[in-house]
Amino acid sequence: MPPAHACNACKRRKVSHPSTRRSQSVRSIPIDSGQDDHTLDGTTDYTFQSLVSPQSLPPPGAESARRDSSHGLDFYPDPAHVHSTLQATAGALLSPEPIADAVRKCVDFFAQYQFPNTPVVHEPTLRAAALLITAEHVPPFASLISSASDFHQQVSYLRKFTLATALCASVMSVLPDRPPSQRVLLAASFLSASRAMLRRYEEHDLEHPDSTSLVIRMWHSAAMQNSTGKVGTSYHYHAEAAYLAQRMRLYNEMSVQEHPKLEVPSLRTSFWLLYLADKTSAVLQSRPPILNEQFFKREFTLLENGHDDNFLLDPSRKVNENSLESRLLVGFHLKRRIWAAAANLLDDGEPAVERIRRVGTILLHLVDNAENATIERVARSQFDNLLDLLSQLDSKASDELAGGL
């Protein structure tokens, strides 16, 4: 019977038996651990090649997203795998409709219906990015990544793909012409692909954010909220975008102007949209504010519209003629100012009501401890008038004061 342990000679040579080596393949792992592994026809097998296989290593001399990893290990699927898995899963869900048509519809739906409320992206750039999903009129996605001249060009492709899939996830989650069950699965497929691709360059993205860094996270937030109802996860993505905007000092006009000219209008409107969301949550008292102007009041110089900003909508498209974009931005900023005014009214109004409540407390004390009937009658009359005023304001102070009667 062979010994249960290595012989002394083997120990000295430090030789391990081939059978003890671990397998270098992992099976049945979804592209995004944060999402349910939705199956198609009962089986979906996300099979990864070796995480350290030669095919996954960068070419000699090229920088890799792996350099951003804290530990030098790469546990995420490579970009080509994310792309091919999305085409397989989304293609099966959409069949017989081509995935190219579905992606094009998402971009058209955004430009026509969602842009007025979220004017945050350059339309020609978005349409070009959408081609990376379908590989129409461009080389295969895997070829683009492998042929990238340097790390920054590779990140540029990854950002475009992540942006386009984030848009599709957000739009698919609300698209009215699809059954709800298909809508949820499609949104989950595009969202999983977008999140997986973001993780390929996330550390670089956090260190060197641009407009896509904000827009991608806002669309992830919208898709998560609409398709899963996970409020906490949705808010986390939104908060990440808001923190990045604050760190980029987008509240300051000079800071915004330091970015490339094509980026400026998208950064500007992205900040105002995040600011609008903050004011809305303040009015609804649903979550604490992040972009609180009290922290940067002296530097809050961002203009609503730049004097020489580029257009976000494609001016070559007939539907965008006759100053459509400028008129849409008027409505966008009007909505922002309304919510900001409501939030400021609550901030400034409740302290004033609190002071009225204190006066009411004094009057109530006089009613209970009046030295004569005249003082009691006058104090009660004033107190009743004050209580009527507070009840009309519908303030929490009126409830507290009425409870003292």
Do residue 100 and residue 214 come from a single domain?
Answer: yes
Better pLDDT: 245 or 405: 245
pLDDT on residue 317: 87
Is residue 325 within 8 Å of residue 311, measured between CB atoms?
Answer: yes
The neighbouring-strand residues paired with 48 are: 26
pLDDT on residue 169: 97
CA distances to 119, 225, 227, 299, 330 from 333, in Å: 11, 24, 28, 20, 5
Residue where a domain terminates, one of 321, 350, 378: 321
CA 222, CA 229: separation in Å to the nearest integer? 10
Q: Is residue 54 part of a domain?
A: no
Q: Where are the alpha helices (DSSP H) in 28-150?
A: 79-94, 99-109, 123-134, 141-146
Do residue 375 and residue 273 come from a single domain?
Answer: no
Is the pLDDT assigned to residue 18 strictly greater than 60? Answer: no
Do residue 276 and residue 365 come from a single domain?
Answer: no
How do residues 62-113 score in pLDDT, each as one tens digit? 444 444 444 445 676 788 899 999 999 999 999 899 999 999 999 999 999 9
CA 10, CA 127: separation in Å to the nearest integer? 61
Better pLDDT: 235 or 75: 235
Q: Is residue 48 part of a domain?
A: no
Do residue 96 and residue 240 come from a single domain?
Answer: yes
Do residue 330 and residue 315 come from a single domain?
Answer: no
pLDDT on residue 119: 95
Q: Is residue 168 part of a domain?
A: yes
208 pLDDT tier (thresholds 50, 70, 90): very high
Is residue 367 within 8 Å of residue 380, measured between CB atoms?
Answer: yes
Residue where a domain terminates, one of 265, 286, 321: 321
Better pLDDT: 269 or 385: 269
Is residue 226 within 8 Å of residue 166, measured between CB atoms?
Answer: no
Is the pLDDT assigned to residue 21 strictly greater than 80? Answer: no
Residue where a domain terminates, one of 298, 321, 344: 321
CA 110 to chain centre: 16
User: What domain range includes position 356?
Assistant: 324-405
363 pLDDT tier (thresholds 50, 70, 90): confident
How is residue 204 written in tokens? Answer: 């670089």
The pLDDT > 90 percentage for the chain reads 44
Number of domains composing the chain = 2
Is the pLDDT assigned to residue 23 strictly greater than 60? Answer: no
* Cα 165–Cα 171–Cα 174 angle in degrees, nearest 5: 145
Q: Is residue 33 part of a domain?
A: no
Task: Report the interhelical angle of 123-134 vs 79-94 (nearest 10°).
Answer: 90
pLDDT on residue 171: 96
7 pLDDT tier (thresholds 50, 70, 90): low
pTM (2 d.p.): 0.71
For 213: left if phi > 0, alpha if psi spans -120 to 50, otherwise beta; the answer is: alpha
Do residue 235 and residue 382 come from a single domain?
Answer: no
Q: Calculate the average pLDDT of the chain.
A: 80
Is the pLDDT assigned to residue 251 strictly greater than 90? Answer: yes
Burial of 369 (0-12, 13-18, 19+ CB in 10 A): exposed
Is residue 250 within 8 Å of residue 302, measured between CB atoms?
Answer: yes
